[in-house]
Amino acid sequence: MMGNKVAVVTFPGSNCDHDTVWALEQLDAEVVVVRHDARDLPACERVVLPGGFSYGDYLRAGALAAHAPIMDAVGRAVEREAVSVLGICNGFQILCERGILPGALWSNTSGEFVCRWEWVEVASPPAGWPEFSTGMRFRLPVAHGQGAFRVQEDGLAQIWAQGGPFLRYVDPTTSRSTGYSPNGSVDGIAGISRGRVIGLMPHPERAMHSVFGSVDGRRFLRMWLGGP
């Protein structure tokens, strides 16, 4: 696979970094782990901000990690369009807190930690990833306490004006993506993209083998590795 050197950033409190490294290595990616206090990214084509509870989720999930030294380097690389970035769960929260992606992730409206399998559907394929197509579905696990995507009304209108969100949750009772959400996300949004940056709440690295409950995470990550 061409262009598959991936930097996985680890923060104090990350607990999905090793899982993410393992998952990417299963797809023959060359992975290098980068600490939160690094000032520069290594030579790489892709960056993953993994799930976990960076800095204990103090203040807000991802709020402190968004200002870690390594995020300055990630921000510079994004501005130059030098890397593709994938933020998974806490990584999505960090990208929003940093302002690289719009919106914010709030506490689940149920007030409870949500941990279960969900179906998500591609509402708008991210630019540069022809492998993803509208209507494509993935069965992936979610595990978060602050996963309710929120954005101001004009921000939501802008997301739809630009093609729509990347992923939306699928209602298990109707099998349609009609605004259902396990956490209270506006418009049932499970993931968004902007340029070469993707953020999503579900965990593809936890769905790499049928014994785990689904192989859709393997399919998702393989598609992401094939993008820009």
Query: 172-210 pLDDT, tens per residue?
Result: 999 999 889 999 999 999 999 999 999 999 999 999 999
Instruction: Please give the mean pLDDT across all residues of the chain.
Output: 95
Residue 94's pLDDT is 98
Residue 3's pLDDT is 54
Which DSSP symbol is given to 220? H
Residue 4's pLDDT is 80
Contact 154, 160 (CB under 8 A): no
Contact 68, 26 (CB under 8 A): no
Reference 166, options 130, 203, 193, 148; nearest CA is 193
Share of the chain above pLDDT 90, in %: 89
Residue 70's pLDDT is 98
Residue 2's pLDDT is 44
Cα distances from 53 to residues 7, 91, 146, in angstroms, run 19, 10, 11
Residue 77's pLDDT is 97
Share of the chain above pLDDT 70, in %: 99
Its CATH class, for the domain covering 5-225, is: alpha beta
- Dist CA 122 CA 45 (whole Å): 24
For the chain, what are the domain ranges?
A: 5-225
Cα distances from 134 to residues 53, 67, 168, 177, 219, in angstroms, run 31, 34, 11, 12, 15
Q: Cα–Cα–Cα angle for 169, 111, 204, nearest 5°? A: 35
Residue 10's pLDDT is 98
Q: pLDDT band at 42, cuts 50/70/90?
A: very high
- Dist CA 202 CA 168 (whole Å): 11
- Dist CA 38 CA 10 (whole Å): 10
Average pLDDT value for residue range 69-91: 97
Q: pLDDT tens, 128-162?
A: 999 999 999 999 999 999 999 999 888 888 898 88
- Packed helices 17-26 and 216-225: angle between N→C axes, nearest 10 degrees: 80
Contacts of residue 151, Cβ cutoff 8 Å, sequence gap at least 6: 102, 103, 104, 159, 186
Strands 104-106 and 148-150 come out as: antiparallel
Reference 87, options 227, 202, 222; nearest CA is 202
* pLDDT of 1 above 70: no
Active site residues: 89, 203, 205
* φ, ψ dihedrals at 196, nearest 5°: -95, 20
Q: Among all chains, which residue has been given the structure tokens 């104090």?
A: 12
Average pLDDT value for residue range 36-57: 96
